[in-house]
Structure 1
Amino acid sequence: MHQFKLSKCFSFTASRDWFYRYSFGNAGLRSIKTDLGEGTVMHCWVPKIKNDSKPNLLLVHGFGANAMWQYGEHLRHFTSRFNVYVPDLIFFGESYTTRSDRTESFQAQSVMKMMEAHGVPRMSLVGISYGGFVGYSMAAQFPEKMEKLVLCCAGVCLEEKDLEEGFFNVKDLDEALSILLPQTPEKLRDLMRFSFVKPGARWVPSYFLTDFIDVMCTNYLEEKRELIGAILKDRKLSHLPLISQRTLIIWGEEDKIFPLELGYRLKRHVGESAEIVVIKNAGHAVNMEKPKDFIKHLKLFLFDSVSSDPPSQTQSGLVLHSYWS
């Protein structure tokens, strides 16, 4: 009873959110909303003082909590080398639109419009899961503005028929939606089980999970369902445009949301300008489950400013060999 009363008067999720907000400010970023017009407002963490001699880095989150929760542990590795921008995608955090468009193409256009409003002409991008869908679309639509691209567990090469043919661990879209947008502690445990190799969710008290759902998973619920539906609708690999930017694909070997085959499918689709690293003993949330490995490969890729040319076969092989040996 005492624990139940405590959860009612103190939100651990809101407290953690405050901590991330404080740490982002302490890292030299400020919170700002940009009115993009036509009923669209996008929130982003931007540099308090932009250094024009530094390259620009855009960190794009996936489904789940707001952007701070997915990059809060990684931010410190990049703020000294880059002007870092961390937006909330539309219908996450403080970003929203009154428009009816739910495609990743619209998300990409909105992010680019927001970056242009902040005077950012070119940038590299890290996109996690759904953020990788948006990042890929940005690279395809605005090739002259996108430099390097990191796609982490981003199933952009999935096809609508994959769901129908049993490629995924869910039987249909409704089941996928109930897990990806959890509204009960049981469904949140399912999501953690799908996202991590060793989730540990069954040991988390239900009131902690309920608190997280209340704070992070109840806003724009129908709109988020529509975002997921738009990803799948009529999706075919043959319709996916090619991109030319140097691209790093990072995947958890045991990803149960977007199986590893989608990573190899993406490597084949992008071709010689892409390299792939597979992280062992990691699932879909590889950025959280294996943060040291995740950061190591981001640094190797993003800090390499000697050349923007596509990696050679030898370079790609070395990266792959480090994980498979």
Structure 2
Amino acid sequence: MVNWVEAQKPILHWLVRGAGLRQQTIEIEPGTVISMWVPKEKVMANKKKATNKEVVPDLSSDGSRDEEEDKRKKKKKQRGKEKEKPAVVLVHGFAAEGIVTWQFQFGVLVNQYEVYIPDLFFFGESTTAAADRSPAFQAECLAAALDKLSVRRCTAVGFSYGGMVAFKMAELRPDLVRSLVVSGSVFAMTDSISRATLDQLGFASSSELLMPESIKGLKALLSVSMHKKLWFPDFLYKDYLEVMFSNRKERAELLEGLVISNKDAKVPSLDQVCVQVSDFFHYLHYFKVNFLFTKNVGDISTHICINLYTKNIQSFAKPTSCMLPKCGIEEHDYSWCFHFHMMQRILLLWGENDNIFNLELAKDMKEQLGEKAILQSIKKAGHLLHVERPCAYNRHLKKFLALVKDEGTEE
């Protein structure tokens, strides 16, 4: 008998491929792989690297031909830089894998952004043999996968469970995550937040809420997740249960690894970017800071400190032109680390009728994050606001991404 939820997957894959994305499996370490939809150019670039062969130079070629070839390569490289788009990483929640969660978003983003849609571990084809089930481990491995794809900076867009992973990735890798968009989530799921949420919704455990085993349980989950009460025939609920709730044992472990003690909870530090000397000039240009360090970063007032580390001592130096690599300091004698004290922009985008993480919780998070965060809400939308009101969600998302893009545009 046809499973109608499974049957729509090839159509969704066709739409995603038509938008220029390709599914890629990235090995982080033996036994740990992440499946991710990435721009097709990234797949082609990786294949080209893998198949490149050594080219034997033609000794009969004259110097002018070599010069022409060098010019051609430089022009091609420059054109590639000009066409480079900002990266956006869409991190899914607990009820479905990546492209199912973001099926109404990827199409409006692919023309202006490099879109990456990963599956977290035990969703889709992503899996790990490691015992760690924490959001921090998910974040570390996702960042490692993006590194392998040569993603230098990105905006992480996280929903629910994916929002916690996105917060953690921004905290662990401030050099990678330039800005955040989070919906229906928290910094971390503490004992008190978990218990209060479950008591309010009338569920005994997170597994009962998020991993229903019956049609009745799935209807209850959708009821608390959406503002509008939608009707579907029971066979669709049954098909969804069969397709979307695999790896139950491992996902139950993810939920157990999600909850932390109240005493271990803290507001993530999201305002420092550290880069190595090899990336220094890239970031100077990227953030519109010139060599004399006289400009602000976008519309954010900031200052820049530079710590110079030698092999044996640590010293502080003022940011002057003598700090530039042309001053003759050799790489093998010195290790440079630049600390850019900057604010990562954060958009908290909420459904006004979110019953799982309500708007008051979002307001508290906004207060804790301070001026780096913006809180915007969407009327007549619940927890699944990006599915329930995709047009409104996409307008807010695109406006924020355009603001972040504008700040990083080359002068």
Q: TM-score range by the shorter chain?
A: 0.7 to 0.9
1:141 to 147, 169, 172: 172
Compute the displacement of 1:62 (Å).
0.5
Compute the displacement of 1:238 (Å).
4.5
1:230-249 equivalences in 2 (<5 Å) = 230-236=257-263, 238-244=265-271, 245-249=344-348
* C-alpha spacing 1:150/1:43, structure 2 compared with 1 (3 Å): same
Compute the displacement of 1:163 (Å).
3.6
Separation of aligned partners in 1, 2:104 and 2:195: 37
2:118 to 72, 75, 87: 87
Correspondence 1:194 to 2:224:
yes
Which secondary structure state, in structure 2, belongs to the residue aligned with residue 45 of structure 1?
strand
Counterpart of 2:239 in structure 1 is 211
* C-alpha spacing 1:207/1:167, structure 2 compared with 1 (3 Å): closer
2:26 to 23, 27, 34: 34
Which secondary structure state, in structure 2, belongs to the residue aligned with residue 303 of structure 1?
helix
Unaligned runs of 5+ in 1: 1-8, 309-325
Correspondence 1:285 to 2:384:
yes
* C-alpha spacing 1:31/1:163, structure 2 compared with 1 (3 Å): closer
TM-score (structure 2 length as normaliser): 0.69
Structure 2 letter corresponding to 1:221: R
Which secondary structure state, in structure 1, belongs to the residue aligned with residue 243 of structure 2?
helix
Please tell me whether the aligned partners of residues 157 and 265 of structure 1 are also in contact (alpha carbons under 8 angstroms).
no
2:375 to 276, 281, 284: 276
Counterpart of 1:78 in structure 2 is 109
Which secondary structure state, in structure 1, belongs to the residue aligned with residue 182 of structure 2?
strand
Please tell me whether the aligned partners of residues 109 and 115 of structure 2 are also in contact (alpha carbons under 8 angstroms).
yes
Counterpart of 1:178 in structure 2 is 208
Correspondence 1:221 to 2:248:
yes
Structure 1 letter corresponding to 2:192: K
1:181-236: CA deviation from partner (whole Å, max 9, x where unpaired): 11111011001001101131xx322211111111111x211211121222223145
1:147-185: CA deviation from partner (whole Å, max 9, x where unpaired): 1210011122553123445675235652x3112111111
* C-alpha spacing 1:67/1:182, structure 2 compared with 1 (3 Å): same
Separation of aligned partners in 2, 1:183 and 1:94: 22
2:183 to 147, 152, 160: 152
Separation of aligned partners in 2, 1:43 and 1:106: 16
Separation of aligned partners in 2, 1:186 and 1:91: 24
Which secondary structure state, in structure 1, belongs to the residue aligned with residue 163 of structure 2?
helix
* C-alpha spacing 1:168/1:158, structure 2 compared with 1 (3 Å): farther
* C-alpha spacing 1:260/1:158, structure 2 compared with 1 (3 Å): farther
Separation of aligned partners in 2, 1:88 and 1:273: 28
Which secondary structure state, in structure 1, belongs to the residue aligned with residue 41 of structure 2?
coil
1:46-102: CA deviation from partner (whole Å, max 9, x where unpaired): 111146521111111111121111111111111111111100011111101111101
* C-alpha spacing 1:235/1:30, structure 2 compared with 1 (3 Å): farther
1:111-153: CA deviation from partner (whole Å, max 9, x where unpaired): 0011111111111111111111010001000011111210011
1:98 to 110, 129, 141: 129
Please tell me whether the aligned partners of residues 168 and 256 of structure 1 are also in contact (alpha carbons under 8 angstroms).
no
Please tell me whether the aligned partners of residues 90 and 116 of structure 2 are also in contact (alpha carbons under 8 angstroms).
yes
18-27 or 240-249: bigger deviation? 240-249
Structure 2 letter corresponding to 1:12: W
Unaligned runs of 5+ in 2: 43-79, 272-343
Counterpart of 1:307 in structure 2 is 407
Structure 2 letter corresponding to 1:293: A
Separation of aligned partners in 2, 1:303 and 1:177: 38
Please tell me whether the aligned partners of residues 158 and 236 of structure 1 are also in contact (alpha carbons under 8 angstroms).
no
Compute the displacement of 1:239 (Å).
2.6
Taking only aligned residues, the RMSD between alpha carbons, in angstroms, comes to 1.8
Structure 1 letter corresponding to 2:381: A
Which secondary structure state, in structure 1, belongs to the residue aligned with residue 407 of structure 2?
coil
Structure 2 letter corresponding to 1:192: L
